[in-house]
Amino acid sequence: MKKLCAVVLVLMLAAGMVFAAGAREEAAPTIDLQTATWEEIVETAQAQGQVTFYSWYFPDYFREAAADFERQYGIKVNLVIGDQTANFNKVISEKDRPVGTVDAMIVGGQWVKTTMDLDLFYGPIKDIIPDADQLAPSLWIVQEGVLTHGYLAPFHRNQTGILYDPQRVSNPPQTFAELEAWIDANPKLFGFNDPSRGGSGQSFVHTVIKHTTGGLEKYVGDTEVVPEKVANWDLAWEWFNDRKDKLTFTVSNNDSIIRINDGEMAMTFGWDDNVQDMMNRGNIFTRAQMYIPEMGAAGGGDTMGILKNAPNKAAAAVFIAHITSKEQQIKKFEMLGAYPSRIDIPIEGTLLTEEDRENNALAWFPAPYKDYMIAEFVRNVLMTQ
């Protein structure tokens, strides 16, 4: 017995050492991306030979894009489709290591402020990526109220709006007063997610603040919360508390969509790319419709960043250039229906009309207000009886 235990332990330790030794690889060749030409960057990327990219959605598109990239450049893509929170926890846990394990990743509005505050990303990369000028100019500068200073490359643009079941909602509301009336007449059939758990819920609270506290213009340009400007936000919390028994609170963007599909709700706030993806995969009926109401709804987009301690920065830059290329952006749009980040692609057949986007899309107020909004909503609405 003792012999057996000893043999097993020795074998496992030996195997572990072999595996551990195997994991330590030689340092990849590097280059200063800020001064190198694009040809030099591609050459270095090919010498690096691989790139590790993290996302939490669109596994179908990213697999295809990775295969195209490998064919075109001969660079292997280690693609990890993980969980959003886990992805960011991982890169944050590796932040102080000189060399991490992740090269580049998708950045959503939920985490952009935290990652920028922690100075996680290498950059700016706007002057490195070819065709950078063809990507949504505003998304290079600001993502959901957070200044990103050209560190994060636009991946796609997305927009929140009202998602509804046309079999149950014949005349969807356009103005805030119409929405109030609809909620009063159809208790529990309208819902939105807890804003601390997803952007579509944040967008709805943002719209309510706009209409109950006197518009959004006064916040433009602020870098921190001005107490006088949020003094009347109690009106927004009152609006929610007065209708608490008529509203449905959900736990995530997808949960809201699922509850529409299951018939528990008939109308919600959702992201257009999210709804389209769920539709493509049979998680919501194809009769679902979406629009941006006249009362307004916020939009934005997701971006991609290169980690400061990325082992293969050049390969990461080439991969981001590949994803933002016209060919790949068209492919993504055709596969998923997600709105491209490029501005030189004609768009047809999306859930939201161009007219709605032009007339009713709202810009988020600055990030400090968004953080404040989430914290105060939880305190004043979710945690009260």
Partner 1 sequence: MRVRAEQQKTPLHVLQERRRRRFYLMLTLFFVIVQLIWVGIPILMAVMWSLVDPKNPWSFPNMFPPSFSFAQWEYVFKYTNIARALRTSYSIAPLAVLLSFVLSLPTDYIMGRKKIPGKKIFMLVVLLPIIMPGMVVALFLSRVFANFGLSQSFFGLVLAHTLMGMPYMIRVLTTSFQSIPQDVIDAAENLGATTFVKIKDIFLPMIRPGLLAGMIFAFIVSIEEFNLTFIIGTPTFETIPTILFSFMGYNFIRTNASVVALIMMTPNIIMLFVVERFLKSDYLAASLGKM
Residues in contact with partner 1 by the rule CB under 8 A: 1, 5, 8-9, 12-13, 15-17, 19-20, 22-24, 52, 54, 56-57, 59-60, 63, 78, 80-86, 89-90, 92-94, 97, 101-102, 110, 165, 197-198, 252-255, 258, 261-263, 278-286
Helix (H) or strand (E) run with residue 266 in it: none
Residue 335 CA to residue 359 CA, distance in Å, equals: 27
Residue 197 or 243 having the CB closest to partner 1: 197
Least Å distance, CB 228 to partner 1, is 35
Residue 180 or 255 having the CB closest to partner 1: 255
Residue 80 or 363 having the CB closest to partner 1: 80
Residue 12 CA to residue 176 CA, distance in Å, equals: 65
Least Å distance, CB 306 to partner 1, is 15
Residue 209 or 336 having the CB closest to partner 1: 336
Residue 67 CA to residue 71 CA, distance in Å, equals: 6
323 token code pair: 């994803």
Residue 88 or 233 having the CB closest to partner 1: 88
259 token code pair: 């509850």
One-letter amino acid for residue 171 of the chain: N
Residue 47 CA to residue 51 CA, distance in Å, equals: 11
Least Å distance, CB 377 to partner 1, is 18
Contact 119, 270 (CB under 8 A): no
Least Å distance, CB 351 to partner 1, is 16
Contact 294, 92 (CB under 8 A): no
Least Å distance, CB 219 to partner 1, is 27
Dmax (CA) of the chain: 80
Least Å distance, CB 220 to partner 1, is 30
Residue 57 or 372 having the CB closest to partner 1: 57
Q: Where are the alpha helices (DSSP H) in 156-198?
A: 176-185
DSSP assignment, residue 253?
H
Burial of 1 (0-12, 13-18, 19+ CB in 10 A): exposed
